[in-house]
Amino acid sequence: MTNRVINFYAGPAGLPLPALERAKEELLDFAGSGMSVMEISHRAKEYDAVHEEALALVRELMGLPANYKVLLLQGGAHLAFGMIPLNLLRGGRKADYILTGNWAEKAYKEAKLVGGENVRVGASTKDEKYARLPKAGEYKIGTDSSFVHFTSNNTVEGTQFKAFPKTDKPYICDMSSDIMWRPFDVSNFGIIYAGAQKNLGPSGVTLVIIRDDVLEMCEAQDLPSYLRFKLHAEKNSLYNTPPCFGIYILRNVLAYNKSIGGLKAIEANNLKKGELLYGCIDKHAGFFKPFVTEKADRSMMNVDFFLPTEALTDTFVKEAKKNNMVGLKGYRDVGGIRASTYNAVTVDNVKTLVSFMEEFVKKNG
Amino acid sequence: MTNRVINFYAGPAGLPLPALERAKEELLDFAGSGMSVMEISHRAKEYDAVHEEALALVRELMGLPANYKVLLLQGGAHLAFGMIPLNLLRGGRKADYILTGNWAEKAYKEAKLVGGENVRVGASTKDEKYARLPKAGEYKIGTDSSFVHFTSNNTVEGTQFKAFPKTDKPYICDMSSDIMWRPFDVSNFGIIYAGAQKNLGPSGVTLVIIRDDVLEMCEAQDLPSYLRFKLHAEKNSLYNTPPCFGIYILRNVLAYNKSIGGLKAIEANNLKKGELLYGCIDKHAGFFKPFVTEKADRSMMNVDFFLPTEALTDTFVKEAKKNNMVGLKGYRDVGGIRASTYNAVTVDNVKTLVSFMEEFVKKNG
C-alpha cells in the first residue's frame, strides 16, 4: 500500500487518487499503444481521443452552451493575464478590474502594462487587506467599459464570490482556484480562465473558455501566434504541440468527477467541507480567528485562520504533519494557517483536520 | 511485461524507458512525500530538489559556462518564436534569419510580426524545397545585425547543421529537435531554445539557455511578465507555477542520459544509428531515395526517404506497424517515410528498422 498524505496545498494540490492510479496503470502503455501517452504524436489518433474527451468533459460538466469555445493552453493564469489585454484591449477598449486580492492585483497590473489608462479599478477592498469582497454599492463600472474582470476565488485571502458582481458588462474571470467547485450559469461570462493546478489537474495546462462574440473581438493578427486566442480556437488547441500529458491527467480528473456525480455532487461535498471547517473555527472563536471578516465571503476552497500566537501556529503545522496532513502553512503575506480544500480533498479528509483542530484546542486552548 | 513499440514519431516522441519506469514507480508517492510530484507545491522542498537537479543536469550535460542562465518555461518553440523578438528586437535592433525549413520559416514569420523590416533573410534554400542547407558563400549577414537565427535540425526536411553558420554575430538557435544529440561548444550562442518533446521530455516544457550579455539586452519592462526572459531568469523559472511534472520527467531523462555516459556516449549512438540507416538507404539507392540532396546535411535525428510508389510507402508504414514500429509516415508537405531517431531510439531499434527495410526491398525491390 502506498502511504498517501492528506494534501491541503494551495496549488499544485492534491488530485483524485483514481485519476492518478489510472495514469500509473497505463504510464508505459497507453490504451494498448505500447507507448506512454506522453510519447505519442499529438496528431495521432490515440492522443486525439484524449484531447477531444478532455474538451468534451469540460463542456459537459460545466454545461457550456454551444456559443462557447474551450481551449487548453500553456503558461498558467500569468500568461493569460497578458493575453487578455493583448487580445481584447485594442482600439481604445476599456475594462474595469475588481481588486479583491493578491491575484486580482496581478491580473490588473498585467493588464495596465498593455492597456494603460483604459484599465481601471472597478472596486477594491485593498484598504481592508482584502479581508472581504466589495459590497453591492461599492462598484464603479464605467458605462464605457467593455469588460469587468474579477477573480472568483481569492486563493491567498480566502474569499470567494458566491454571487457574482452585478453589472451588464461581460465578465472576464480568473477561476484558477475554484473552477468547477459547483455548477453555475456561465451566460454572463465572456472569458473564464484557470490554471489547472488547483481543481483540474497538474500545472502546465490553462483552461480558457471564451464566448463566441468575445472571441470575435480578438483582432490580433499582429500578435505572435501563440498569444492569439482566435488561432487556438480555430485550431482546436492543436495549433502547436499541446501539453499532452497534463491534458491527459485533466481528462482523468474530469472523468472521475463525472463518475461521482458531476458538479452537483462536488458542490455538496464542498459545502459540507466548509460547514465542518468553518463550524470548528466559529465554535472555538476565542482560539481560531478567521482572516475573512464577512461570513458571506468565506471561500469554500481556501480557509485562512489564525491561532493565538505564532509559536502555536508553528506547532499546529508541525503536529498536523505528524498526523499526515501537509500544506497548512499560510501564505507569507497573510500568515497563520491556510487549509486549501479543493475538489480532491474529501469530506473525510476535512473531518480528520477538524478532529485534529478539536484536539489541538483541548491541549492548547 | 509491458508491450512497448519502437517509436519513430517526430514529436512528442519516445522517452528512455528507465525514465518512465522511475516515474511510474513513484507516481503516487514521490520521494516518500505521500504525494505525486504533480501534487506538490512548487514552493515545497520536494519539488525544489527536482527543479534544481533538472537545471543542474542541463548545465552539466551541455557543459554550460557560468555566463549562461538556464530557464524552464512553457509554450513550446512557438511561444519562444514570439518572445525572442519581443525581448530583443527593440530599439531598432536587426536580426538575420536563416531559412532552412518549415520551422525556420515559422520562427522568421513570427519575428517579422514584431520586428518588421528589421527581420531579414540571411540565407534560404526554399527554392530547393529546403532539401539542403545553405553553403558557405550563400549567407548574407548584415554588419548591422545583432543576431543570426537558425534552426539546428530541420525536423520536417531532415537536414542538420553539423558545422554552424560562419558569422561573428551571436546565434539564436531553435534546437528543439536535436538539443543534446552531441556535445558542442556553446560559446557563440546567445540563446538556445528547445521544446522538450523530442530529445528532453514531454511536451509542455521549453528549455531556454541564454547568455548573460544577451539577457541584459532584454529590456522589456512594458511586456506582460510571462513574456520576459529576464524576469524568469531572476526568479530561477519560479516566477509562476512551472510545469512541475514535465520538468520532473525531463530530470528523469537527463539523469538517465548522464548514467549512460552523457552526450559523448549519446553522440556515438546517434552516429551509429545514422550510419546504419543511411547505409541501408544508400545501399538500395534504386529503391530508397533520400529527400536531402547533400550527404553532409543529412540529419541524425530525422531521416526522410521515398519509396518507388505511394502504394509501396503505405505498405511500408503498415508492415512496419505489424512489426511493432510506429510513427514512420512522412510529414504531409514532404511525403514518403520519416524515421525520427532521437536520443531515446536505441541502436538496436534502428537495427530492427534496417532489417525490416532489407526484407522490404527483397520482397518489393
The residues of A annotated as belonging to the active site are 103, 174, 198
Instruction: Reply yes or no on domain B18-259 having CATH 3.40.640.10.
Output: yes
Nearest to A115 by CA among A140, A134, A87, A77: A87
pLDDT, position B182: 98
Contact, A207 vs A196, CB < 8 A? yes
Per-residue pLDDT at B219 exceeds 80 = no
pLDDT at B250: 98
pLDDT at site A144: 97
Its pTM stands at 0.98
Name the CATH topology of A263-364. Answer: Aspartate Aminotransferase, domain 1 (3.90.1150)
* Cross-strand partners of B145: B94
Residues of B in contact with A41 (CB under 8 A): 9-13, 327
Q: Are B301 and B175 in contact (CB under 8 A)?
A: no
Find the mean pLDDT for residues B222-237. 97
Q: Which residue stretches of chain A have pLDDT < 50? A: none
**Is B79's CB within 8 Å of A246's CB?**
no
pLDDT at B2 over 80: no
List, for residues B4-26, the tens digit of each pLDDT value.
999 999 999 999 999 999 999 99
* Alpha carbon distance B295, A107 (integer Å): 52
pLDDT given for residue B270 in this prediction? 98
Contact predicate B277/B354, CB 8 Å? yes
- Cα of B13 vs its chain's centroid, Å: 11
Measured between CA atoms, how close is B201 to chain A, in angstroms? 8
**Cα-flanking dihedrals φ and ψ of residue A101, to 5°?**
165, -175
Q: How many CA atoms lie within 13 A of B137 on its CB side?
A: 0
pLDDT for A2 equals 66
* pLDDT for res A365: 85
Note whether B223 and B86 are within 8 A (CB): yes
> What value does the mean pLDDT take over residues B223-232?
97
Q: How far is CA B323 from the centre of its chain?
A: 27
Ramachandran region, residue A76 (left: φ > 0; alpha: ψ -120 to 50; beta: rest):
left
Q: Do A224 and B81 touch (CB under 8 A)?
A: yes
Distance of alpha carbon B240 from alpha carbon B235, whole angstroms:
9
- Taking an 8 Å cut-off on Cβ atoms, the answer to whether A17 and B28 are in contact is yes
Which residues have C-beta within 8 Å of that of residue B199, sequence separation ≥ 6? B177, B178, B179, B180, B181, B301, B342, B343, B344
CA distance A194 to chain B (A): 13
Q: Which residues of A touch B9 (CB under 8 A)?
A: 39-41, 44
Cα dihedral A27, A32, A34, A39 sign: negative
Instruction: Tell me the CA distances in angstroms from B255 to B34, B38, B60, B138, one per residue in order.
Output: 23, 19, 10, 40
Q: Cα–Cα distance between B63 and B192 in angstroms, integer?
A: 14
Give residue limits of the domains in chain B. Answer: 18-259, 263-364
Dump pLDDT digits (tens) for B97-137.
Answer: 999 999 999 999 999 999 999 999 999 999 999 999 999 99
Q: Is the pLDDT confidence value at B1 over 70?
A: no
Q: Tens digits of per-residue pLDDT, B354-364?
A: 999 999 999 99
For A35, half-sphere exposure in the C-beta direction (CA atoms, 13 angstrom radius) is: 29
Residue B144, C-alpha cell as written in the block: 548591422
**Dihedral angle, C-alpha A95, A97, A98, A101, nearest 10 °:** 170
> pLDDT tens digit string along B145-163?
999 999 999 999 999 999 9
The predicted pLDDT at position B3 comes to: 86
**Which residues 233-292 on chain A approach chain B with CB closer than 8 angstroms?**
239-246, 249
Q: Test A226 with B74 for CB contact under 8 angstroms.
A: no
In this prediction, the answer to ipTM > 0.85 reads yes
B273-293 pLDDT, tens digit per residue, is 999 999 999 999 999 999 999
The pLDDT of residue B48 is above 70? yes
Amino acid A260: pLDDT: 98
- The predicted model gives B258-286 an average pLDDT of 98
The CA dihedral of A335, A336, A341, A347, to the nearest 10 degrees, is 180
CB A266 within 8 A of CB A180: yes
DSSP state of B136: G
pLDDT tens per residue, range B63-109 = 999 999 999 999 999 999 999 999 999 889 999 999 999 999 999 99
Strand stretches in A152-287, DSSP E: 153-154, 159-160, 171-174, 189-195, 206-211
Tell me, what's the pLDDT at B91?
A: 85
